[in-house]
Amino acid sequence: MQGWRLKMEDAHLADTSLPGGLAIFAVFDGHGGIEIADFCARNMVNVLTSLPKFEQKYYDGALKECFMQLDELIKSPQGQQDIKNNCPGSNKFQFQHVGCTATCVLVTKDKIYCANAGDSRSVLQKGDKIVALSRDHKPELESESARIIAAGGEVRNGRVNGGLATSRAIGDHHWKT
């Protein structure tokens, strides 16, 4: 089974047919528009499964690299054309101001791997317990604030440069310059 669907500015991915019997489930929480959430839902599996780390079964590293590759692909001519083809009405200005947070789990026969960007969360119910699989990336966290400041930004009112409420996202390229 595989598929993706948009609802408002959000998209999700569920694919149980990855190589090696793996499955992936992801939610992309769009902000500023649907473009990046939609792009990630449609492209994540192809990007992830093409990575050498995925082939080597280094799934933690593959998920992290996949998020970074998706972010770079969005800026490429190929990525921009993909967005224009699949999100009618998008323009370059709008596309630069659109992003999404993401959370995903990759399920193998014996492990669950989780990756997230931003404040989208994954949890697992284990009997009577709820186990957090992800950690929010918020500007007020000491480690995130230090990263923002080292990159030349600032944290004002709990937001990156006084505007963005999450300290990591896919897209939002105008915040990353």
**Domains observed in the chain:** 2-135 (3.60.40.10)
Q: Does residue 87 surpass a pLDDT of 90?
A: no
Higher pLDDT, 124 or 161: 124
Higher pLDDT, 10 or 162: 10
pTM for the structure as a whole = 0.86
CB-based contacts of 135, cutoff 8 Å, min separation 6: 116
Q: What is the pLDDT of residues 4-33, one digit of tens each?
A: 544 478 899 999 999 999 999 999 998 888
So what's the pLDDT on residue 95? 65
Q: What is the pLDDT of residues 60-79, one digit of tens each?
A: 999 999 999 999 999 899 99
Classify residue 151 by its DSSP letter.
T
Tell me the DSSP string of 48-108: HHHSHHHHTT-HHHHHHHHHHHHHHHHHSHHHHHHHHHHSTT--HHHHHT-EEEEEEEEE-
H or E stretch covering 61: helix 59-75
Q: Does residue 36 surpass a pLDDT of 50?
A: yes
- 3-state SS class at 112: strand
